[in-house]
Amino acid sequence: MSLGPLMLDIGGAQISAEEREILLHPLVGGVILFTRNYAHPEQLAALVSAIHGLRSPPLLVAVDQEGGRIQRFREDFTPLPPARLFGQVYDRDISAGRRLAEDTAWIMAAELRAVGLDLSFAPVLDLDHGVSSVIGDRAFHRGAEATGELGRAWLLGMRRAGMAATGKHFPGHGAVQGDSHHMLPVDNRPLEEIRRHDLKPFERLIRLELPAMMMAHVEYPAMDALPASLSRRWIVRELRERLGFNGAVFCDDLSMRGAASTGDYMTRAHMALEAGCDMLPVCNNRAGVMAILQGLGNYANPMSQWRLVRLHGREDISWEELHASREWREARAALESHYAGGEFRLET
């Protein structure tokens, strides 16, 4: 059985009988987990193992574990700072900022790999233009060069832990006020301005063979009247052909209002696949999931399959082995020298 294009959520700390049947559907390719799916590391490892054990190749299991506001698993996991704080360290000492970002990315990814997860959707490569509340401190920096450097460090840290990085939200969500969870934001800047600034961090990581990209539910009229997540001009013409990206393309969550203006769930799914997305997350809407499963028929894309299977996690390690390792202890101590008890400290 191949990996299908649909990534969905589940309701609790275990898979229900109904959910098991849905996860066996050939159009399903992944599961995204949330805080409600987590009780403690042993439970989470058992849940992920159960999901992986349903099929071959295993379903991809993902989470948003960026740090700061966006950290789904907290208790017993290392507290992760928001990305902006790495930018602040970088402004004082470039090498220290890069080193801290890489070590923190390694901690994040290694802890998730120790309970079996394949993916954390990170790093955020949006620039902090100072106008977006939904991005805000999730961005490393306002500058493209610093963001590219810190994004590179994050990718390398995740890679060292055996996890594929996912750059988001292409081509950049940081220059619009609106939150695409609740509306379709519109970025009216000229295309060349977006290319000169916002695309630069994405280009930097593409040259490092970034394995996956997540699209933005933002409209950029200079390129297309459709959101970038549903735009063949952005995904095929710009991302794949002009920038040479060969990894997997994730649509952002099709349940978000930024996608809803284009039609019902089936319409959104068709548009995303036609635009060139490989995987479509649909979160917190089981009716939407079922509509897509019933409407897509026998959809299959061999190239998507090839891109997606490359995202499975590597470097297996147990939770106990990780926490006993010198590498984890030293990386954790380095992070805690800057960020402890939820408070950030700059070295004087």
Q: Is the pLDDT of residue 333 over 70?
A: yes
Of the two residues 191 and 343, the one the predictor is more confident about is 191
The pLDDT score that the predictor gives to residue 181 is 78
- The reported pLDDT for the residue numbered 346 is 53
pLDDT digits (tens, 9 = 90+) for 100-125: 999 999 999 999 999 999 999 999 99
Could you read off the pLDDT of 158-173 as tens digits, one per residue?
A: 999 999 999 999 999 9
pLDDT digits (tens, 9 = 90+) for 189-237: 999 999 999 999 999 999 999 999 999 999 999 999 999 999 999 999 9
Residue 120 dihedral angles phi and psi, to the nearest 5°: -115, 130
Confidence of residue 343 (pLDDT cuts 50, 70, 90): low
CA–CA gap between residue 162 and residue 313 (Å, rounded): 6
Q: List pLDDT tens digits, range 253-301.
A: 998 776 777 889 999 999 999 999 999 999 999 999 999 999 998 888 9
The mean pLDDT of 136-164, rounded to a whole number, is 97
pLDDT in the model for residue 259: 76
Task: Quick: pLDDT tens for 19-71.
Answer: 999 999 999 999 999 999 999 999 999 999 999 999 999 999 999 999 999 99
Is 342's pLDDT higher than 70?
no
Q: What is the pLDDT of residue 262?
A: 80
Which of 103, 118, 128, 252 is flagged as catalytic?
252
278 classed as catalytic: no
Of 40, 91, 93, 181, the catalytic one is 181
Cα–Cα distance between 348 and 344 in angstroms, integer? 13
Give burial (CB, 10 Å; 0-12/13-18/19+) of 213. buried
Peptide bond into 123 cis (omega under 30): yes
**pTM surpassing 0.85?**
yes
Going from the C-alpha of 121 to that of each of 63, 165, 222, 226, 325, the distances in angstroms are 6, 7, 27, 23, 25
Domain boundaries, the chain: 61-277+311-342
In CATH terms, the fold of domain 61-277+311-342 is: TIM Barrel (3.20.20)
Per the annotation, the verdict on 126 as an active-site residue is no
348: pLDDT strictly greater than 50: no
